[in-house]
Structure 1
Amino acid sequence: MTDVREKNEIMVEYEGRLATVTINRRKILNSLDENTIKLLTTKLKEVATSTCDVVIIRGEGRAFSIGGDIKGMLMNEDKTILPRVMDAAKELSLCLYTLPKIVISAINGACVGAGLSIALAADYVYANSKAPLAMNFIGLGLIPDVGGHFFVQNRIGEVKAKQLIWEGQKLTAEEALNIGLIDGILSDDFQESIKEKAKDILQKPTLAMIETKKLFTALNKEKLLQVLKLETIGQLTMRNTKDHQEGLSAFSERRTPQFLGE
C-alpha cells in the first residue's frame, strides 16, 4: 500500500496563550488513518499540559478533513486494522472533548465524516463560507464514529441528529449555521478572522471559562464513553453487511450505491 505522508503530519504552533493544531495531509485532503489519529491525540495531550488557554484546530490546504482514509482501507487487507482504528478514534474523541482549554474548530474547507465529528467536538465551530460539511457515513452503509452521534445530538437535538445522519447530505456553511450545527461563518481572510476570535476569548477570564467546561465535561463524560462504546460495536457490525460492501464498491467505481438493507 502506498502511504502518502506529509513531512509534519500534525503541526502545533504556539503564540503566547494560543496554540494552533494543524492536520497536514493536504495531498489527500487531510484524511485520517490510524497513525494520523494517534499522532493527533499525542499532540493534543501535549497541548493539554501547556500554558496555552485557547486552541485552534484546523486542516492544511483545501479541507479541514474528509474523514477516514477510505482509499487506504480499500488497499489494506489487514483485518485487525479496523478495531485498532476504532480504539484510536475513541481515545482521540475523549481527549479532544475533555481538553482543559477553549477549543475552536476552523473549518477552512471540506469537513466530512470523521472530520466533522472531530470539528464538532470543539467549544466553538466556525466555517469558511464555501466549506461543505457532511456526516456522510450512510453512503458507505456505516454509522458515525469518533463520537459523531454525541456531538451532533449536543448541537441540534436527537431528532434532527438522526435525520442529518440518515440523509448524509452535503450542507453549505449557511445551511449548517441555520440548523445550529456550527456557530458562525467567517468569509474575509478566514485564518485571520479565526485568530481574531481567539484573541477575543483571550481577553476574557479564561480560567473561569475553562472551569465551566470542566464542569460540563464531568457531567457528560460517561455518556460520551457509552456512545463511543456503542459506536464501536455498531460500526464493526456494519462493516460485515452487504450494504457496506456495496458502498465500498460504489465508492471505488464512482457510482451511486444500490443498497438492499442487508
Structure 2
Amino acid sequence: MNNRLVELAFTDRVATLTLNRPQSYNALNQEMLKEMVEALEEVKKSSADFLVLKGSGKAFSAGGDIKMMTMPETGELFPQILETIGAMVLTLYTMPQLTIAAIHGSAAGLGLSLALACDYVIAEEQAKVAMNFIGIGLIPDGGGHYFLKERLGAHQAKHLIWKGEVLSGAEAQRIGVVDEATADLEQALQQKLSEWARKPVLAMKETKQLYMQQTAAELQHILKMETKGQAKMRDTKDHREGIQAFLEKRLPTFAGR
C-alpha cells in the first residue's frame, strides 16, 4: 500500500507506516484517518512481526487538523470523525504485532495519543511532546486519557492534561510519558528492532495479548466517554475562543463558559 497521505512498506519482518502529510506537519484530517485505519488493518493481517510508526518531514504529527475543525461541515461529521479515530487507535492497540512509535520534531494532541497506543515509544531528546488539547478548550481524544493513566497514574495524568505544557523528549522520558529519549532516533529504533528480533517473539506476542484482553474493554469505554465529552466541549465558548486564538496566533482568553 502506498498513497499520498499514508505510506506502508514491508521489509523482512517489519512493517513501516509513515504519516505522509509533511506540509501540514502530519496533522490528521478525515481522509488521513481513514487511510490510517486501512493501513493498520493491512498490517494486522500480514505476517510482519513488528510495526514502526513514524512521520515524514519535520514532525511525527501535530495532532488533529485545526483547519478541519473550523470547516462548517465538520459539525455534522464530528461523530463519524471520532468513530474513525477510535477505530484507528483500537486497531493499533490490539494488533498482534509488536509496535514502536518513533517521534521526531513534535507529537501533539491526537498525534501523541496515536504514539502512546504503541507498545514502545522512542522520542528524540529535543522533540516536542504535548497533550495540549486544553489550549483549544478540548479534552484529549484517541484514548489519551487511558494511555496517560496507564503510564503515569490517574493523578499525574490529570495534571499533565490540565497543564497542556510542551515537554522535550528527554523530559517526557524522565516522567514516563515515553519509553526512551535519544540523540539518534534511527539508531535507537534499529537497536530496539534488533533486540526484539533476537527474542522469542511468539512469547512476547502472547504476553501482549494477555494484557490487551484485560484492558481493551477499558480503552473502548474511555474512547466512548471521550467522544461524549469532546462533543460537549465543542459547544463551549472557550473552545471557539481557543480555535480563534490559534488561527490569529495569540494567547486565548478563556472565560470558563
TM-score range, shorter chain: over 0.9
Tell me which of 184, 194, 198 is aligned to 1:199: 194
SS at match of 1:55: strand
| 8 Å Cα contact 2:100/2:119 also seen in 1 | yes
1:42 deviates by 0.8
Shift of 1:207: 0.6
**239-248 or 68-77: bigger deviation:** 68-77
- 1:134, 1:163 → 2: CA distance? 13
Aligned AA for 2:172?
A
Could you say which residue in structure 1 is the equivalent of 2:205?
Answer: 210
Structure 1 position 179, deviation (Å): 0.6
> Does residue 147 of the first structure (1) align with residue 123 of the second (2)?
no
1:3 corresponds in structure 2 to none
Which amino acid is 2:201 matched to?
T
Query: 8 Å contact 1:34–1:84 — kept in the other structure?
Result: no
Question: 1:1-262, aligned counterparts within 5 Å?
Answer: 8-188=4-184, 190-262=185-257
Instruction: State the alpha-carbon separation in 2 of the partners of residues 156 and 76 from structure 1.
Output: 37
Whichever residue aligns with residue 29 of structure 1, its letter is: Y
Within 1, Cα distance between the matches of 2:16 and 2:73?
Answer: 35
8 Å contact kept, 1:106–1:125: yes
1:205-249 Cα deviation digits (max 9, x unpaired): 111101111111100011011100100000000000111111111
SS of 1:145's equivalent in the other structure is: coil
Farther off after superposition, 78-87 or 161-170: 78-87
Q: Secondary structure at the match of 1:65?
A: coil
The verdict on how the C-alpha distance between 1:127 and 1:78 changes in structure 2, with shifts beyond 3 A counting, is closer
**What's the RMSD between the two structures over aligned residues?**
1.2
- Conserved? CA contact 2:68–2:74, under 8 Å: no
List alignment gaps of at least 5 residues for structure 1.
1-5
| Identity among equivalent pairs (%) | 43
Once residues 142 and 161 of structure 1 are traced to their aligned partners in structure 2, the CA distance between those partners, rounded to angstroms, is: 15
Please give the per-residue CA displacement for 1:18-52, whole angstroms capped at 9, x wherever unaligned: 11110000010000011111111110111011111
SS of 1:63's equivalent? Answer: coil
Aligned partners of 1:108 and 1:169: how far apart in 2? 17
Alignment partners' CA distance in 1, 2:131 and 2:9:
29
Amino acid aligned to 1:104: I
Whether the 8 Å CA contact 1:132–1:170 is kept in 2: the answer is yes
